[in-house]
Amino acid sequence: MELAELLNKKHDEARQGEAFKASVAPIQDGKKFYIESYGCAMNFSDSEVVASILQENEFSATPDFETADLILINTCSIREKAELTIRKRLTEFRKIKRTRPGMLIGVLGCMAERLKAQLLEQEKLVDLVIGPDAYRSLPTLIKEASGGQKGVNVLLSRDETYGDIAPVRLNSNGITAFVSITRGCNNMCSFCVVPFTRGRERSRSANSIIEEIKLLVNQGYKEITLLGQNVDSYHWVNETGNETVTFANLLEQAALVSPDLRVRFSTSHPKDITDVVLYTMAKYENICKCIHLPVQSGNTRVLQLMNRTYSREWYLAKVDRIREILPNCGLTSDMIAGFCTETEEEHQDTLTLMDYCSFDMSYMYFYSERPGTLAARRFKDDISLEDKKRRLQEIVDKQGELSTRSNLNDIGKTFKILIETRSKRDANDWTGRTSQNKITVFPKSNENQQPGDYVWVKIHDCTRATLLGTIVDHP
């Protein structure tokens, strides 16, 4: 495997967890469901909503798909590789179904609408196809599929937010949790299928978001991540029209729930993140100082083809503004190599932009044409796979240099770390993250420490992806 593919696989695993499997305690004598999620954090969050709906209808989760009455895959259509992985998984599940005729297999999420005919009729891989706005109809569709019909609902909604459903936290460490604040997307980036699979953007009630956060705090959670395809465009108006809540307002309300609660958010669109948001981040210590700001390309012409609505110079000015207001803010990004008609010189612009911005980490891919997108309809995918992979490798190499340099700059510094779990490599070590979202590993210093505690850690060494430190007294 090439280095670029290997590093992107590791990035994908960190971002996606490969497969997100339900693991809450089963209810005796009830039917069991098993769920895997692929793709972005929104899919993970949706799976927790689905688990809640199923548990309300006498289903319980099992970590063993071979004993499940219902197998669900929450899907991703962002890249062709994700769809191929999901098809392979469905084929494996179908083999199990042959030995258990009563078992149902369903596809949720982004692949549902686009591939419903192939999955249901042509390939006969599934019994249920449910789009991201149709999860409330799951119980009815399950009954229909149990009776021999095909259960299908892929209708998109202009108002569904699932704001009244308390998610069941799957595979939870009891410390960190996702909180969805928006659904859908109004940004018609030419390479992206999300507006077609998740529909138009809508914001969830601010009241329901804050109530969910308060509930999580009461349950002992210490960190929440506000989720949306574009969190900065959050805009909610109450029923009477006399209250408007922007993302900056919501961020402040979340921070005020508890000073011991860390608040993160993802993802930001460069065109929408405002000075008000940046000043709100600066005002509250418990709002983490890290922004994921996808750039996709460092060349203005390519950005125009991508319909990103900003230029190279505009993006760089935004980065300058972030550094000015939040000098210690972590910055991460997304990059696409080999977009339609991209020249070698334009590819070099991406590398020089990366140098200027000094991203701490990036998610890096080569362009994968997605059926139905604006790019698939308007532009020829004319960059060879060989050139895409080479350019991606150069981007990965560049990010490796930047990540190493960023971590080396942290040696000698002391950070407040939220202990999340034991290290996978050594049970005597803790792992947690800095406010800038850097993974940090450090030895336990006493037996009274536990996940959920805050400690001060002085960094003495690092790898490309991890800071290594030692617990110290308050600096």
* pLDDT tens-digit map of 57-68: 989 999 999 999
Q: Return the SS3 of 152.
A: strand
- Distance (Å, whole) CA 342 – CA 383: 7
- Distance (Å, whole) CA 173 – CA 334: 27
Region 276-295: mean pLDDT is: 98
- Mean pLDDT of all residues belonging to the chain: 90
Q: Which of 105-109, 293-297, 471-475 has the highest mean pLDDT?
A: 293-297
pLDDT band at 116 (very low <50, low <70, confident <90, very high): confident
pLDDT above 50 (res 27):
no
> Beta strands 244-246 and 262-266: pairing type?
unpaired
Q: Name the nearest CA neighbour of 404 among 350, 348, 357, 359.
A: 359
Choose between 357 and 169: higher pLDDT.
357
Region 331-352: mean pLDDT is: 98
pLDDT of residue 21: 42
pLDDT of residue 190: 97
Q: CB count, 10 Å around CB of 343?
A: 12
pLDDT of residue 113: 72
Q: Residue 432 is inside which H or E element, if any?
A: strand 429-433
Q: Return the SS3 of 474.
A: coil
**Using one digit for the tens of pLDDT, what is the confidence trace for 420-462?**
999 988 989 999 999 999 999 999 988 889 999 999 999 999 9
- Distance (Å, whole) CA 270 – CA 388: 25
pLDDT above 50 (res 323):
yes
> Beta strands 414-422 and 429-433: pairing type?
antiparallel
pLDDT above 60 (res 10):
no
pLDDT of residue 76: 80
Q: Would you list the domain boundaries of the chain? A: 14-153, 414-472
pLDDT of residue 115: 76
- 349-362 burial by CB neighbour count: b if 16+ within 10 A, else e? bbbebbeebebbbb
Residues whose CB is less than 8 angstroms from the CB of residue 156 and which lie 6 or more positions away in sequence, other chains included:
113, 131, 132, 133, 184, 198, 199, 200
pLDDT above 50 (res 124):
yes
For 67, which DSSP code?
Answer: G
End-to-end CA distance of the chain: 44
pLDDT band at 170 (very low <50, low <70, confident <90, very high): confident
**Residue 399 near residue 354 (C-beta atoms within 8 A):** yes
pLDDT of residue 9: 40
**Residue 290 near residue 435 (C-beta atoms within 8 A):** yes
Percent of residues, the chain, with pLDDT higher than 90: 72
Region 250-274: mean pLDDT is: 97
Long-range contacts of 86-94 (CB under 8 A, 24+ apart): 86/38, 86/111, 87/123, 87/125, 89/19, 89/36, 90/119, 90/125, 90/126, 91/125, 93/65, 94/125
Residues whose CB is less than 8 angstroms from the CB of residue 86 and which lie 6 or more positions away in sequence, other chains included:
38, 73, 75, 76, 107, 111
pLDDT above 60 (res 139):
yes
Angle at 261 between CA 256 and CA 264, to 5 degrees: 90
Q: Return the SS3 of 357.
A: helix
CATH tag, 14-153: 3.40.50.12160
- Distance (Å, whole) CA 184 – CA 200: 5
Q: Name the nearest CA neighbour of 227 among 268, 257, 256.
A: 268
pLDDT band at 23 (very low <50, low <70, confident <90, very high): very low
pLDDT above 80 (res 29):
no
Region 382-399: mean pLDDT is: 98
Region 120-129: mean pLDDT is: 81
pLDDT of residue 123: 66
Least confident of 78-82, 236-240, 406-410: 78-82
pLDDT above 70 (res 287):
yes
pLDDT of residue 470: 97
Alpha-carbon distances, residue 30 vs 70, 99, 136, 206, 365 (angstroms)? 12, 20, 20, 35, 43
Choose between 377 and 112: higher pLDDT.
377
- Distance (Å, whole) CA 90 – CA 177: 28
- 361 forms beta bridges with 332
pLDDT of residue 14: 35
Overall pTM surpassing 0.85 (yes/no):
yes
- Distance (Å, whole) CA 331 – CA 337: 20
Q: Return the SS3 of 19.
A: coil
**Using one digit for the tens of pLDDT, what is the confidence trace for 356-372?**
999 999 999 999 998 88
Q: What architecture does CATH give domain 414-472?
A: Beta Barrel (2.40)
For 227, which DSSP code?
Answer: E
pLDDT of residue 355: 98
CA atoms within 13 A on the CB side of 140: 7
E strands within 76-210?
A: 104-109, 128-130, 151-153, 176-180, 182-183, 202-203
pLDDT of residue 40: 83
